[in-house]
Amino acid sequence: MTNSVDNGTKRVVDGRPCVYYDGYWIRCYTPPPESLAARQTLIYHLTRRTFHHTEAGINTPGEKLVAARHSYDNEIDPARKRVKGAMLAGALFNRVTDIFTSVVELAKRGVVVDYDNELMRQCNDYLKEAMELGKTVKHFSGQEGIDELWGEPLKAFTMSLEEFYNSRYIKISQSKRDIDRIASAMAASVEHLAPFNGIEPLINEFKEAAKLECETMKSDPAIFEIWPRFVAAGEALLAFSPDIPRGQTETYACYLRDGTRLVRDGKDLLAYIAGARVPMPKSTDAFMSACQNYAESGRCLKAAS
C-alpha cells in the first residue's frame, strides 16, 4: 500500500498525525509561526542537541570565540587540532545563539534587524564555518562523526520553519530505515542458534520502540509512554543471556559470548541513531560487516566440528 503513497502525504495513522517519506509514516508536528523568536529557540535547541550527542568538552562559550580561534589556528599537532576545531565549532554555535538572543530582544523593543544586517550575515558565516569544522567532530561513543547534526542549525537559519521540519522528516525516515536494517542483521546473526531462542521478539520490540523514540519530540506528551517503553525494551535485550548447554567446547562457548557482544553492540547503535535522529552510516556499515563476519565464523566452526 505504501508504494502508492507520495512523499509528504499527511494522514492520521494509529491515532497520531503522520507524514509519509520513503516507506515510513512519521509522527509529524505543526511548526511554530515564523518569527525571529521561534527561529532563535529552534537554533538554540538544535545546538544543545548537537552538543548532547557529540564528544565532551566542546561546548565552548561564545565569549571565548577569539581565544578558541587563536588556539585552533596555532595548533600543529593533527590530533589536538581536530579537538580544538571542535571547540571552535562549539564557540561559533554559542556566538550565534548570543547574537540571536540580542536580536530577539531588540525586536521586542521595535528595532527591526533584517537578514541583510551585518549581525545576521555574521550568524550565517559562523554557522557555515561550524558545519565545516563539525565534519571531524566525533559522536560521544567515539565510533564516528555525525556531521549531519552540525548542518541543522544552518538549515534552521536559512530555511523557513516548515521547510526545516520537512527536512527533518526525511532524516528520520532514513534513520528508521537503518534501524530496521541493523535489527534484521542482528537477529539473523544469532536467532538460528538454539541458545539464543527467544531473542528475536526482544530485538523486534527494541527496534519498534527505537523507531517511535526517533520520531517523537521530547515536548510531546506521548513521550511519557514512548520513552519508558524504549528504556525497558533496551534493558530486556541487554539482560538476555544465551543458555550455553553443558559439555560444549570452549570454542563454541566463546562463539556464543561473541554473539552476545554483537547483540549488545547492535543495541547501542540502535539507541545512538534513535537519539540523534540521523543516520550513522560508518557505524552501520561496520556493524553489518561484523554480523557477516560472525555468520562466517559460525560456518567455519561447524565445518571444523
252 to 16, 127, 245, 271: CA distances (angstroms): 47, 53, 10, 29
Of the residues 100, 127, 158, which one is the last residue of a structural domain?
Answer: 158
**pLDDT tens by residue, 224-249:** 999 999 999 999 999 999 887 777 78
What SS3 state is found at 26? strand
Is 126 in the same domain as 220? no
Q: Is the dihedral of CA 216, 181, 193, 305 positive or negative?
A: negative
Is 141 in the same domain as 200? no
Whether residue 229 is contained in a domain is answered as: yes
Is 137 in the same domain as 193? no
Of the residues 123, 158, 193, which one is the last residue of a structural domain?
Answer: 158
Of the residues 124, 158, 192, which one is the last residue of a structural domain?
Answer: 158
Q: Is the dihedral of CA 113, 118, 121, 123 positive or negative?
A: negative
Range of the domain at 233: 172-304
Tens of each residue's pLDDT in the chain, 305 residues: 445 899 999 999 999 999 999 999 999 999 999 988 899 899 999 999 999 999 999 999 999 999 999 999 999 999 999 999 999 999 999 999 999 889 888 888 888 888 888 888 999 999 999 999 998 899 998 877 787 888 899 999 999 999 999 999 999 999 999 999 999 999 999 988 889 999 999 999 999 999 999 999 999 999 999 999 999 999 999 999 988 777 778 888 888 999 999 999 999 999 999 999 999 999 999 999 999 999 888 766 664 44
Whether residue 26 is contained in a domain is answered as: no
Q: Is the dihedral of CA 217, 131, 88, 36 positive or negative?
A: negative
**pLDDT tens by residue, 126-142:** 999 999 999 889 999 88
Whether residue 49 is contained in a domain is answered as: yes
Whether residue 21 is contained in a domain is answered as: no
Domain count for the chain, please give it.
Answer: 2
Q: Residue 202 in contact with residue 233, Cβ under 8 Å?
A: yes
